[in-house]
Amino acid sequence: MAISESEIQSVKQRFGVIGNSPLLNNAVRVAMQVAPTDMSVLITGESGSGKESFSKIIHHLSARKHGQFIAINCGSIPEGTIDSELFGHEKGSFTGAHESRKGYFEVTNGGTIFLDEIGEMPLGTQARLLRVLENGEFIKVGSSKVQKTDVRVVAATNVNLLVKVEQGKFREDLYYRLSTVPIYVPPLRERGKDVELLFRKFATDFAEKYKVKPIALTEDAKSLLVKYRFPGNIRQLKNMVEQISVLSSDNAEITGEILAHYIPKETSLPALYKDQNGVDNISEREILYKILFDLRKDMNDLKKIVLEGAANPAHAAQLVKEHAGLFEGIDENISAAQQVTYLDSPTTQTETEEEVQDITHEAEDDSLSIVKKEKELIMRALRKNNNKRKYAARDLGISERTLYRKIKEYELEE
């Protein structure tokens, strides 16, 4: 089905999708093409990039538009109650179940369910969801009666589900069943001048809301805005514009100098690494594993330098110079002086190997504890975001539910 540019613009206007970048237009086009069908859709993209808007496009342009539309954040529902929320339960099926309850898949019969953060769904619930997708059947918690439902599922994720499949945290059959048609929603930093359009729209909205003058950007401010990465995407931009609208209401014209005060400093947390599609490829512990693997690699490279230096002491100084970058980030207890001592000492190669292994084990014991690193990252994220857990969880790439659990586990409550 060929879709014209004018039709795309009409849909964007109807659903409040602002921007003209090619990646954004392509996402809208795919949503329009798949909407009339009943196929499952998987929407991928970073947190705050506007994935829910595309689920609404799919629903309202489908034959189910008169049916109910429900959006559910899988990461915000506790693991112990998510089955009851989605599929319902019978009276007395668990403590506190004082009466029977219909789940979302029952009340949304004939409509559409949007499952956001699908990667946070427990494995047991994934098995139940797969049964719904394959034959439209589900069983309430505490019941043995099979019920039918006709619900279209649109799912979204801000992580790479294939990585979760490899880790055993997401069912492979469910992944391929959900991703019949994938839609990639680009992050704000990949949308070029769209950030200026969004800024102008939000500025107008907040000027009307707070009865202040609408703010406008100078050319140097626009340049600064486009260069900023916006890790929080549209949600972050909207919050920024609201803050500027209120606090800089006396300045209708926002210069680059003024704007710089509202742009956060680059975080010291590790940058998220991405897959070939540009999607954040990260889970609760992957940041920590990456730190540990990088440090282990540096230690192994250092060991190689020491061994080569022991075999050829005259070449040791040059080796250290060429590999000076390896010493950055290695535990502070292993000083440069100690490394030179090991290089210059007249020991045999076997003795040197043993000493380097001892250094490696000492560094691992002192600084490579996963629990210690995880606790440190959580504390840094909380400090950076003034103990606002929602934003700390976003920076860490985990759900709020997981962050709450970790805070309690590590006794980080104030």
Query: What confidence tens digit (pLDDT) does each residue in 120-140 have?
Result: 999 999 999 999 999 999 999
pLDDT 10s digits, 232-258: 999 999 999 999 999 987 778 999 999
Q: CA–CA separation, 404 vs 335, rounded Å?
A: 38
Mean of pLDDT over the chain: 81
Is the model more confident about 409 or about 260?
260
Number of H helices, E strands in the chain: 19, 9
Is the model more confident about 307 or about 375?
375
Residue 2 pLDDT class (50, 70, 90 cuts): confident
Closest by alpha carbon to 112, among 78, 73, 81, 68? 68
pLDDT 10s digits, 303-358: 666 665 555 555 555 555 555 444 444 444 344 334 434 444 444 444 444 443 44
Residue pair 279/44 in contact by the 8 Å Cβ criterion:
yes
Give the β-pairing of 253-254 and 146-148: unpaired
Average pLDDT, integer, range 378-397: 82
Angle 16-20-21 (CA atoms, 0-180°, nearest 5)?
A: 125
**Residue 380 clears pLDDT 90, i.e. is over it:** no
Residue 142 pLDDT class (50, 70, 90 cuts): very high
pLDDT given for residue 410 in this prediction: 80
Residue 375 pLDDT class (50, 70, 90 cuts): confident
**Residue 85 clears pLDDT 80, i.e. is over it:** yes
pLDDT given for residue 107 in this prediction: 95
The domains of the chain, with CATH numbers, are 5-186 (3.40.50.300), 189-260 (1.10.8.60), 287-367 (no CATH), 370-409 (1.10.10)
Length of the chain: 414
pLDDT 10s digits, 269-305: 444 444 444 444 444 455 555 566 566 666 666 666 6
Q: CA–CA separation, 135 vs 83, rounded Å?
A: 18
pLDDT given for residue 339 in this prediction: 42
